[in-house]
Amino acid sequence: MTDIERRPEDETQYRDHLQRSETVWNRWSDWYRTSEQDFEPFRTELITQLGLREGDRVLEIGCGPGVNFSLIWEAIGEDGQLVATDYSPEMVTKARERITTNGWENIEVVRADATTANLGGAMTQLSQPSL
Ligand SMILES: C[S@@+](CC[C@H](N)C(=O)[O-])C[C@H]1O[C@@H](n2cnc3c(N)ncnc32)[C@H](O)[C@@H]1O
């Protein structure tokens, strides 16, 4: 995956933007989980359309508190792998709590800015079921 190139003068502006938007998502992280049932039909439809199969490897960008994890996990099973990313520390903490609570050993959350992180590597499928 190629890194996004920004002019040096844009870099500071981007960092400011990143910090502000991270703060917003941190604040939303508690509320977000309480709303997840409202969007359940959309999530189910979207993830069904991905046509995931047992053993698939999935990358979720902007995973929030992990509201899609159970649906993806049910599709890929114990032999699959889900790597999820989010840049908000609060979202990442909540997503990891969800993993621990459910005992999912094949789901990992990486804190990263999706516009600059090198998310390529061994992933063979790309899934972005974000709302
Ligand atoms: C609308 S929520 C979607 C959460 C979840 N994927 C869902 O389907 O409900 C967007 C998420 O993307 C994350 N996000 C936004 N911009 C990002 C970036 N540049 N890098 C990583 N995560 C980002 C936010 O922190 C937030 O958790």
131 CB within 6 A, ligand 1: yes
- The number of distinct structural domains making up the chain is 1
Strand order of the sheet with strand 107-111?
57-61, 81-86, 107-111
Residue 2 lies in a domain: no
Residue 71: is its pLDDT beyond 60?
A: yes
Q: Flag whether 24 is in a domain.
A: yes
Please state the pTM of the whole predicted model.
Answer: 0.85
Residue among 88, 115, 126 to mutate when testing ligand 1 (max atoms within 8 A of CB): 88
Q: How far is the CA of 61 from the centre of ligand 1 (A)?
A: 7
* 76-96 tens-digit pLDDT: 999 999 999 999 999 999 999
Alpha carbon 8 to chain centroid, angstroms: 28
Ligand 1 atom with the smallest distance to the CA of 113 is: 20
For 15, the domain range is 8-111
Question: In this predicted model, what pLDDT tens digit does every residue of 51-69 receive, in sequence order?
Answer: 999 999 999 999 999 999 9
